[in-house]
Structure 1
Amino acid sequence: MTTRTLYLFCSAAPPVFDVARVIEDAQARGWDVCLGLTPSAAEWLEDSLAGLEALTGHPVRSRYKRPGQPDVWPAADAVLVAPATTNTINRWALGITDSFVVGFVAEALGKNIPLTVMPCVNAAYAQHPQLPLSLQTLRDAGVQVLFGEGGFEPNPPGEKRPYPWDVALNAVDDLRQ
């Protein structure tokens, strides 16, 4: 099995606390994983960042590099944005690129890097009129959106359910075929 590089980009939603297990699962599937976090997700995982860097063998990124600095990750073969909050999804669809994660995936659209997003929003956020527009914008741009039946299905606010990480990893595995 040839190793390919997966950029795993996570927003600050409760499933981000499972990211070490998800990285191990992706590595067992043959992916070299590079972890990118939104600023809030990086803050949530602050005490785990050194361990996550050791696990992936790459720096965990949450900020843009400075002009002229070298890339510290190998080129991406695929990108998985999960868990993706309403904020991350809307900013991406609207092209608001003030953070590394959103800036990278916005640019990746034009570079034809295979992109998959799996939201993590509760049913109340899912009712906001911008979210379906943003998801459709991303679908129209060629992003594989895992939302609704067969993907992430919103839960009532406050209800805790397992996040379907396997669905997301299976989807990016299918890109390797």
Structure 2
Amino acid sequence: MARVAFFSLVSVPLLFNQTIAQQKAATPEAQKLDCLEAMNGLRTAAGLAEFKEASIATQVLPEKTVERATDSDETTQAGKLTGTFAYYPVADGKKDCNAAVEYWKAGFSLFKNELPPEFTETNKTAVYSDKAVSFVALYNPKPNPVVSCVLLQCPTATVP
């Protein structure tokens, strides 16, 4: 691009649209999912109360594109949410609640029928991995549990 010193007016919209596309690609987008049936199937089998759909602002995951906080005093929406997060990595963008629930359920094997060691940092031991924390979120015995599910499509990492 440094070699181009002149461009026509027709090129401006193309460059502008490319810039917008690049900005959109760098910002994660979320789509609401309904995974209550898949999650509640496991919860009721374990004798736990069914999840209900979250309705309070601090419990509902954002569905819209959210700009990243640039000021250190600002907080992201995820920082304002309460509760325990369950996370399922998706590479192909497929909305498969059953696959997510099976992934979370598999977190049980990480505990090996032992109490976990004292927490010092995330992912230091297997029981503090996303999979294990997601297992705990799925089987949390808290009364009146609520859930908010979204598919968050993050931009692909680029290597410089």
Structure 2-normalised TM-score? Answer: 0.23
Higher strand share: 1
The structure with higher relative contact order (CA 8 Å, sep 6+) is 2
Structure 1-normalised TM-score? Answer: 0.21
Higher CA-based Rg:
2
Higher helix share: 1
